Structure 1
Amino acid sequence: MELRQYQQDSRQSIQAEWEKGVQRTLLVLPTGCGKTIVFSKVIEDRVRLGERVLVLAHRGELLDQAADKLSKSTGLGCATEKAEQTSIGSWFRVVVGSVQTLMRDKRLRQFAADHFDTIIIDEAHHCLSDSYQRVLAYFEKANVLGVTATPDRGDMRNLGSYFESLAYEYTLPKAIKEGFLSPIKAMTIPLKLDLSTVGQQAGDFKSSDLGTALDPYLDSIAGEMWRVANDRKIVVFLPLVKTSKKFTSILNAIGFRAAEVNGDSQDRAEILADYDSGKYNVLCNSMLLTEGWDCPSVDCIVVLRPTKVRSLYSQMVGRGTRLFPGKTDLLLLDFLWHTERHELCHPAHLIAENEEVAQAMTKQIEEAGIALDLETVEKQATEDVIAQREEALAKMLHEMKRRKAKLVDPLQFEMSIQAEDLSSYVPSFGWEMSPPSEAQVKTLEKLGILPEAIDNAGKATKLLERLDKRRTEGLTTPKQIRFLENRGFEHVGTWSFDSAKRLIDRIAGNGWHVPDDINPKEYRGE
């Protein structure tokens, strides 16, 4: 099998990481870009070196898929470590293993701690859980490759706490641009769905609360789906099995050919096959089909399980990103979810580089009322955000310039009052070296000193002490010094406050011009 360029590059990058001694590395490829093919080729490379390899996953479908792709792409067979099936005594050098089975102490101890040289973790965003960590800790000397389409995790624990490097990442926008995944069009359905009463659990919305909150809107959602996508092949993700079943009935009542699958469906394989062949045009599920199921002909995704977790959102959308003959794009239907905080994942989060661009994209899509190409929207939103930033920066610089014009630079002040002890000051102690406090910064600015030019608390303290002393002694203020020295007067810092005030009053009375009978270079105050 000939690999695509990015697949070959990722294969080589993974081997390079291990060769330079990085034990635990990560591969990120979008759903539909052949991550199973890539790690099958990596396994082939390791077997050629005489190694034993374990492929670890949390679902039977993923293990079956790995075994199938490994056989087709490399010709390698494998043993299975799952429930009553065991690899003990097998001559195969590759084992596909269920983490739920291998995490058991009795099962683990049938293997020597150095039995496996390499471990591949499919859907690696799950690997921080205790079950995975137990297995990985047992085979602690093995090289580890984590493979995922989504590098962030629901409980927000960073994968970087386990993996030491990112060997290779291929992004969704790049895959679409290079023609390996379907373009995505997003459309906001103008239905306001109130989620403000929905509780939270483990960093996301509670499924039980979501089901109840969705119920009043199901008929309206079905109607909108018929309006914009009745000719599409749709997968709908819902929070609860009972909601999924109810929505399937509503869809069938208005003309869709809808089916529902869940973890207890006895005829699940048959339903999926019938959907694939076109008997059904809508497939409803309660988060069952987020991983390990492929149907490239899907060209519409409806997410009725709102989430704050980008990895979960990407998994749902990933069911529709594969290419298929005659398929021109993937339509992604979004809704006007109302929450107390703007934390929800929207289509924009699939490709936006940051939250600012994502928000600008979401606003654009909401206001359009039609399906928009995500890449086009992202380009426009990025340009808009940059323009807004430049405008804000120009405004800020103008404000800073205006502010600076009213403040005196500390060095100018020190030279003017002839304070060598201040101009040559070097902090000695820890507290002196720390940045000026917020209170010091505010007081310095209030007294007319430009605070940005002071980088340590010691200098700020000495300046404030000197300013307080000068006030007590009736000497000029920084603002008086700035005003007069900007008009050519010298060493104003040695004058009295009253002398400077009288001169400033004379200048003000002369239309803010220095009177003709005064020579600023020679004037030394009264």
Structure 2
Amino acid sequence: MSGFLTENEIEQTVESLIDVYKIDRSLLIKFIGTDKYIQMNKMLRNLNEGIMDDYQLVRMIVIEKGLFLFAGSNDIVRDLRSQLLKQLNKNILVQLYDRNPISNRKIQSPTHMPKALASKRWIMGGRWARDFVQTLGFPLVFSGISIPKDHSTDPIQDIEPRKSVPPLVEYQRGLKEKMLSVLNKEQEKTRCVVTLPTGGGKTRVAVESFIDWMQPRFNEGKYLLWIAQGEELCEQAISCITDMWQEREFPESLRVYRYFGGKTIKYESLIGGAAISSIQQLYSRIQSNDESLNEILANCGAMIIDEAHHATTKSYEILFNKCKELAGEDLFPICGLTATPGRSNEETMTLVNQFEAYLIYPSLPDMRRYELNPLLYFREEGYLAEPIFLLHEDGEEIEVADYMDNEDTDLNQEILTILANDEKRNYQIIKYMRSIPLGSSSLVYACTVAHAEFLAMMMNSIGRNSSVISADTPRSIRRMHIAAFKRGEIEFLFNYGVLTTGFDAPKTDHILICRPTSSIILYEQMVGRGLRGERFGGTEYCKVIDFSKNIKRHGEPLAYARFIKEWQIREVSNINQSVTKKKQLN
């Protein structure tokens, strides 16, 4: 089992709940809430879909709840379990109770057994969950036995050699040579910023360069400290380091330390290797004077800062001061990675000047032609998908100047919540999503978690398989949804604030930006999830639909306008017609 509901499992469950157990509609409505149920039916009528019948309602709930349909301890789930158990044959019910007795209670009357069993603690994959599901005739997947195991929980991992990965392409090899040249020349005084467009493989190039340079230093007990902004990027780095170490055929293993997510590294386990951490974890451990971190910083052989535009914050200043205290003023090689469209980008140059760093960028075959727009090269060669951009009309003009905390920050939560609850805007979004061809892979950035959930429920209610990922989604479930999205089992993957970095789904062909932003960095990160080209396993085109046309800041458009200009993207009025015309011309 894949850990994700198949169409057969969904249909079997819907049929059982409606035809076999005849679950009350009033209880089903409680799963989504009366207000939201009314709101959804109003939207469906506006879309000429009519109100939800029992089949649509149950199917939507089964898809939304997924493996957790019967799990949990809230009153609604307990009522569902109780209603189901009440309909069992008395002998089967008694046998079920005898196999799963309630501690410190002796219940002999079958009449009282359903309520008692419904309140029994539900552990995904546990004996009671399995027995409940099998006895009632539901697919075993609902017991939770097929939820993928989370192998990222251990703070330490030893990476063995031997694995084959695709070789670097020409511009990546050139970038690696430049990095090694700077490292060999400057040694411990190396300061560099590597710039490469989103989807260009900057993590792969950096890992391969520093693995080669650090390999003899690992044997001396030195550490490669990789710093990222969140757990997703940390795990992405570990995956890349694992692949590259195994591909290099080194004779010894490499120890990797997960220094994020609250994990603790014991001092006795430190033998050198790659320490992967979030800046938040480092800042917290510096405050507590953690002895393991002190050991890593004192013996750091090199530091890589992913998403290096964050390195100007106070947290990094504190980190650098601690490093100087433990390792000396000269420190060690420090390399920043940034995904920018070109070396003239002002954020990149600010970073380069602040750290007095070498700027390392790819050498392209015709530098005169690509000087002003290096992205053209990556698109023409198929490394990046070609963005086709539609700015969607989404309602009345809104001025967001009053919803900015200050001049330098993004839109605040208040305006995002207002937009999330805007019925006319949501109608435009859902109407457009419904027009996307069946079988497409669409990644959707919502205004809030509740907004993502509402949009997903709407699409599920009209038969378009959708899922939601948020910061509260367990890592194993998140990976399961992403895997199903990559396999094409999910058409729409909705999220708020979690799939901007560290997420890889090369075949994504639609990016829908429902969340407006004034941050060009955030905007590039969102759009960048769909920019991988065919030569890197992606798509020829990436269709970007932005619903922020009528949202202004001081009368000016938001980050999408700068993105269109810097990435030299042509706007279209009809995405599908534009793609068809391009293919005919070619």
Question: Could you say whether these structures have the same fold, taking a TM-score greater than 0.5 normalized by the shorter chain as the test?
Answer: yes
Where does residue 304 of structure 2 map in the other structure? 120
Where does residue 231 of structure 2 map in the other structure? 60
Where does residue 542 of structure 2 map in the other structure? 330
- TM-score normalised per structure 2: 0.57
What is the identity, as a one-letter code, of the residue corresponding to 1:102?
Answer: L
Where does residue 411 of structure 2 map in the other structure? 205
Deviation at 1:59, TM superposition (A): 1.8
Q: 8 Å contact 2:429–2:514 — kept in the other structure?
A: no
Inter-CA distance 306–155: structure 2 relative to 1 (3 Å threshold):
farther
Deviation at 1:250, TM superposition (A): 2.2
Where does residue 237 of structure 1 map in the other structure? 445
1:269 has 2:479 as partner:
yes
Where does residue 316 of structure 2 map in the other structure? 132
Q: Distance in 1 between matches of 2:556 and 2:273?
A: 49
Choose which of 362, 376, 401 in structure 2 pairs with 1:173: 376
Residue-by-residue CA offset, 1:281-315 (whole Å, 9 max, x unaligned):
00111121001111112110001111121111110
Question: What is the RMSD of the two structures over their aligned residues, measured on CA atoms?
Answer: 3.1
Q: 8 Å contact 1:154–1:203 — kept in the other structure?
A: no
Q: 8 Å contact 1:238–1:244 — kept in the other structure?
A: yes
Inter-CA distance 215–38: structure 2 relative to 1 (3 Å threshold):
same
How many residue pairs were aligned? 366
Residue-by-residue CA offset, 1:208-254 (whole Å, 9 max, x unaligned):
31231243210221102222455521011012111111221222233
Q: Secondary structure at the match of 2:312?
A: coil
Gapped regions of structure 1 (runs ≥ 5): 377-526
1:10 has 2:175 as partner:
yes
Q: Secondary structure at the match of 1:280?
A: coil
Residue-by-residue CA offset, 1:368-423 (whole Å, 9 max, x unaligned):
676647xx9xxxxxxxxxxxxxxxxxxxxxxxxxxxxxxxxxxxxxxxxxxxxxxx
Where does residue 265 of structure 2 map in the other structure? 86
Q: 8 Å contact 2:531–2:538 — kept in the other structure?
A: no
Choose which of 245, 259, 265 in structure 2 pairs with 1:74: 245
Q: Distance in 1 between matches of 2:290 and 2:480?
A: 34
Deviation at 1:166, TM superposition (A): 1.4
Where does residue 295 of structure 1 map in the other structure? 505
Deviation at 1:137, TM superposition (A): 3.0
Q: Distance in 1 between matches of 2:484 and 2:302?
A: 39
What is the identity, as a one-letter code, of the residue corresponding to 1:6?
Answer: Y
Q: 8 Å contact 1:187–1:370 — kept in the other structure?
A: no
Where does residue 100 of structure 1 map in the other structure? 280
- Identity between Structure 1 and Structure 2 (%): 23
| 1:456-495 equivalences in 2 (<5 Å) | none
Deviation at 1:97, TM superposition (A): 2.4
Q: Distance in 2 between matches of 1:68 and 1:153?
A: 31
Where does residue 456 of structure 1 map in the other structure? none
Q: 8 Å contact 2:388–2:575 — kept in the other structure?
A: no
Inter-CA distance 161–239: structure 2 relative to 1 (3 Å threshold):
farther
1:191 has 2:394 as partner:
yes
What is the identity, as a one-letter code, of the residue corresponding to 2:559?
Answer: C
Inter-CA distance 214–172: structure 2 relative to 1 (3 Å threshold):
farther
Q: Distance in 1 between matches of 2:297 and 2:490?
A: 49
Inter-CA distance 297–193: structure 2 relative to 1 (3 Å threshold):
farther
Q: Secondary structure at the match of 1:308?
A: coil
Moved more, 202-211 or 161-170: 161-170
Q: Distance in 2 between matches of 1:73 and 1:29?
A: 19
What is the identity, as a one-letter code, of the residue corresponding to 1:143?
Answer: P
Moved more, 221-230 or 158-167: 158-167
Q: 8 Å contact 1:192–1:338 — kept in the other structure?
A: no
| 1:86-485 equivalences in 2 (<5 Å) | 86=265, 88=267, 89-103=269-283, 104-105=285-286, 106-107=289-290, 110-111=294-295, 114-140=298-324, 141-150=331-340, 160-162=353-355, 164-169=357-362, 171-192=374-395, 194-197=397-400, 199-201=403-405, 202-216=408-422, 217-266=425-474, 267-323=477-533, 327-335=539-547, 336-339=549-552, 340-346=554-560, 349-350=562-563, 352-353=565-566, 361-362=570-571, 365=572, 372=578
Inter-CA distance 369–37: structure 2 relative to 1 (3 Å threshold):
closer
Deviation at 1:35, TM superposition (A): 1.6
Inter-CA distance 343–70: structure 2 relative to 1 (3 Å threshold):
same
Deviation at 1:157, TM superposition (A): 7.2
Deviation at 1:29, TM superposition (A): 1.7
Q: Secondary structure at the match of 1:145?
A: strand
What is the identity, as a one-letter code, of the residue corresponding to 1:63?
Answer: C
Q: Secondary structure at the match of 1:9?
A: helix
Q: 8 Å contact 1:114–1:142 — kept in the other structure?
A: no
Deviation at 1:138, TM superposition (A): 2.3
Residue-by-residue CA offset, 1:180-210 (whole Å, 9 max, x unaligned):
1222212232333533146113422113312
Q: Distance in 2 between matches of 1:55 and 1:110?
A: 15
Q: Secondary structure at the match of 1:242?
A: helix
Where does residue 4 of structure 2 map in the other structure? none
What is the identity, as a one-letter code, of the residue corresponding to 2:339?
Answer: A
Choose 1 or 2 for highest CA Rg: 1
Inter-CA distance 40–193: structure 2 relative to 1 (3 Å threshold):
farther
Inter-CA distance 143–371: structure 2 relative to 1 (3 Å threshold):
farther
Q: 8 Å contact 1:67–1:77 — kept in the other structure?
A: no
Deviation at 1:353, TM superposition (A): 4.2
Deviation at 1:8, TM superposition (A): 1.3
What is the identity, as a one-letter code, of the residue corresponding to 1:330?
Answer: C
Inter-CA distance 23–205: structure 2 relative to 1 (3 Å threshold):
same
Inter-CA distance 229–349: structure 2 relative to 1 (3 Å threshold):
farther
Deviation at 1:47, TM superposition (A): 1.6
Choose which of 39, 44, 54 in structure 1 pairs with 2:211: 44
What is the identity, as a one-letter code, of the residue corresponding to 1:252?
Answer: N
